[in-house]
Amino acid sequence: MPETARHDVFQAIADPTRRKLLQLLSEKEMPIGALAAHFPISRTAVAKHLAILSDASLISGKKTGREKIYVLHPEPLREVKEWLDYYERFWDNKLSMLKHLVESGEEQSLKETETRKKPNH
């Protein structure tokens, strides 16, 4: 695994082993050994999957002593979510409008809460 090419988040989550790694790291940060114990493949193979996830900025590792603890970084998944939002309208005719309102309201609130706390009715 040359690790030269930049890895895409869509490609990173395409592999079931990598999805399970993300799930494990979402429960608790762990070193590679603890992660590898959950799989039938070798620790080296897990290390390569971690490298791909790291390349997609989905995880990072901090070395403490002789261990390297891996931590989840879910932010890049937002790109996938935004891609999906476009298609959601095609399968969901019911509440898509409400949900889009909620989500656009959320973005608004993220910007607004710094400057304003009360509604401006």
Partner DNA sequence: TAATTATGAAACCTTTTGGTTTTATTTTTA
Partner DNA sequence: TAAAAATAAAACCAAAAGGTTTCATAATTA
72 touches a copy of itself (CB under 8 A): yes
52 forms part of the interface with DNA (CB under 7 A): yes
Query: Do the beta carbons of residue 41 and residue 50 sit within 8 Å?
Result: no
Q: How many residues bind DNA (CB under 7 A)?
A: 29
- List CB contacts of 88: < 8 A, sequence separation 6 or more: 96, 99
Binding mask 85-114 for a copy of itself (x = CB under 8 A): -xxx-xxx-xx--xx--xx-xx--xx----
- Cα 77 to Cα 52, 66, 71, 90, 111, distances in angstroms: 14, 30, 15, 21, 20
Element (H, E) at 47: helix 43-55
Instruction: Choose the contact partner of 99 out of DNA, a copy of itself, none; CB within 5 to 8 A by kind.
Output: a copy of itself
**3 state SS of 95:** coil
Q: Rank residues 43 and 100 by Cβ distance to DNA and give the closer one.
A: 43
48 binds a copy of itself (CB under 8 A): no
User: Is there a contact between 30 and 36 (Cβ–Cβ < 8 Å)?
Assistant: no
Near DNA by CB under 7 A: residue from 66, 94, 111, 118: 66
Q: By the criterion CB under 7 A, which residues form the site for DNA? A: 1-2, 5, 7, 11, 14-15, 17, 31-34, 40-45, 47-49, 52, 61, 63-68
